[in-house]
Amino acid sequence: MNPIKMKRIFVAGISAALLIFYLWPCAWAQSKEEKSYVGSGACMECHENEYQNFLAYAKKANSFESVMKMKKGLTESEYKECLSCHTTGYGKPGGFVSDTETPDLKDAGCEVCHGPGSLHVESEAAKDIVAKLSESQCRVCHNSERVAAFNFKPMIFGGAH
């Protein structure tokens, strides 16, 4: 084979590989970003009983208020760390920004555990939401450093859900 032709094939192959390498993560990120946060109120229409139990029994239904009560004694870094568990989607695309900008996400709502709900609200398909929760998902926020007496089963199977 002609050395110039071999060089062109080699360069084309490398170019294709680099293109795939750089575009693949972008395509994955776009599909991941399709989901956005909609707030717990969007869940109420189809999950009224769970929503009412959440409002009545889950401490996290008013979790932003707890952070605001303690904010005065916190550093900015500590305050932001609190927001990651006490609001919905803080620090994530489409998540909580402030109580004036994203008031529907100011408390730790349904989407903290079940993930962003926009696709599920549109499709009503279980595949578009985290339906089955595990203890490890709860431990992201409910760990021994933050919550000394966390018991998974009463929380998930009791009145809070």
- Architecture of the CATH domain 35-157: Orthogonal Bundle (1.10)
- pTM of the entire predicted model: 0.71
The more confidently predicted of residues 10 and 68 is 68
**Minimum mean pLDDT range among 7-11, 98-102, 137-141:** 7-11
Helical segments of the chain, H only: 3-33, 41-44, 48-57, 63-70, 76-86, 110-114, 118-123, 135-138, 152-157
Question: Quick one: average pLDDT of 1-30?
Answer: 47
Average pLDDT over residues 96-105: 95
pLDDT mean over 31-36: 66
**Cα–Cα distance measured from residue 139 to residue 75, given in angstroms and rounded to the nearest whole number:** 24
Parse the chain into domains and list their residue ranges.
1-33, 35-157
What is the pLDDT, as a whole number, of residue 13?
A: 47
pLDDT of residue 155: 58
